[in-house]
Amino acid sequence: MHAVEFLRAAPDAIPPVVVLWGGQRHFKHAVLGILRKQIIDDDDNSLTLFNGADAQLSTVSDELHTVSMWGDRRLVVVDDADAFVTTYRAGIEKLVEKPAKKSVLVLDVGAFLKTTRLYKQIQAKGLEIECAELKGTQLVKWLQESTKETYGQSLTRDAAALLVELVGAEMGMLDTELAKLASYVGSKGKIEIGDVKSLVGGWRTETTWAMNDAARDEDLNFALNALDQLLTAGEPAIKLLGGIGYTFRKFSLAAELSRSGSLDAALRQAGVFPAGMAPGETYLRRMGRARAELILKHLVDTDAGIKGANRLSERMQLEQLLISLSGKRL
């Protein structure tokens, strides 16, 4: 099962061997917190931690079979256990077959191959918990649910999607930003896209967003002035191009999708935020199919140009890009 499922509803009985696999430490820490509470009631005297790089199976096994004077259960965790599992695979398989009766062994690994005998054993007699990153709609949904459960706040879908775009998919960093946002909105009780732009992105993100909207709406004076502010403030051209591309690649995709459906449905499918649906439809209708189909080419050409294929200054290349994306003639 994935860590999200475990955290929602941990099983009443934890088997003797648990494998946590994947690269998201945030999920692993959360799962271990549940295991500690459920197995040893957070009793540190009944918890033993091993570093997998130098742990020996005989020592781990002895610890599993040691009865604590403070409690009748033990939790033994082998961290960074990939090398440990590789070295002692046969012995671990025996532990799964004949486990310690009152102890739980947790193996924290990066990868857990489904083709191995150990994986099949854990599926049958243990518990494997996937702690890999969430993506796309799964990640957005998790953010919304986590915000509600942890902070008692609601998080709009658009705000969650923008948060992922700005921060990335690392759960720990996302949770840190959620804590800031929950405190920021306070009694309002709702985190919206404007809150993410202001608190997480800062003025540079807000200005980039406004610049994109102005280019979309054919307000070139505003768009070029915003670009000048950002470049003067030291914002890298390649980063600005990424921000421009984030908005206009969606319009490019929507133009392609509209070949087999309505423009409204195409914009939604392309991931355009609800607030941008009406302006986006107006933009693409004004551009027309021929010019809309050149959006991606303009972005790709500018990317290559900034990386050295064009002798013009980065400023001039970005200015030309905004003009082209707005539908103006050069």
Instruction: Give the tens place of pLDDT for each residue, 36-61.
Output: 999 998 888 889 999 999 999 999 99
Is residue 71 pLDDT above 80, yes or no? no
CA geometry: angle 86, 92, 94, nearest 5 deg: 140
pLDDT band at 211 (very low <50, low <70, confident <90, very high): very high
Place of tokens 């050149």: 294
Arithmetic mean of pLDDT, 154-171: 87
Instruction: Give the tens place of pLDDT for each residue, 181-199.
Output: 999 998 899 999 889 988 8
pLDDT band at 170 (very low <50, low <70, confident <90, very high): confident
Range 3-130 classified under CATH 3.40.50.300: yes
**Which runs of consecutive H residues, i.e. helices, occur in the chain?**
3-8, 25-40, 57-64, 82-87, 89-97, 117-125, 136-151, 157-167, 171-185, 193-196, 202-216, 220-232, 237-257, 263-269, 277-292, 295-304, 314-326
**Average model confidence (pLDDT) for the chain?**
92
Can you tell me the distance from the alpha carbon of 280 to that of 289, in angstroms, rounded to the nearest whole number?
A: 13
pLDDT band at 255 (very low <50, low <70, confident <90, very high): very high
Is residue 330 pLDDT above 60, yes or no? no
List, in order, residues 6 or more apart from 17 with CB less than 8 Å away.
92, 95, 96, 99, 104, 105, 107, 122, 125, 126, 127
Q: What is the CATH number of domain 202-326?
A: 1.20.272.10
The domain spans of the chain are: 3-130, 136-191, 202-326
pLDDT band at 300 (very low <50, low <70, confident <90, very high): very high
Residue type, 299: L
Please give the residue that has the higher pLDDT: either 330 or 328. 328
Q: Considering only the top CATH level, what class is 136-191?
A: mainly alpha
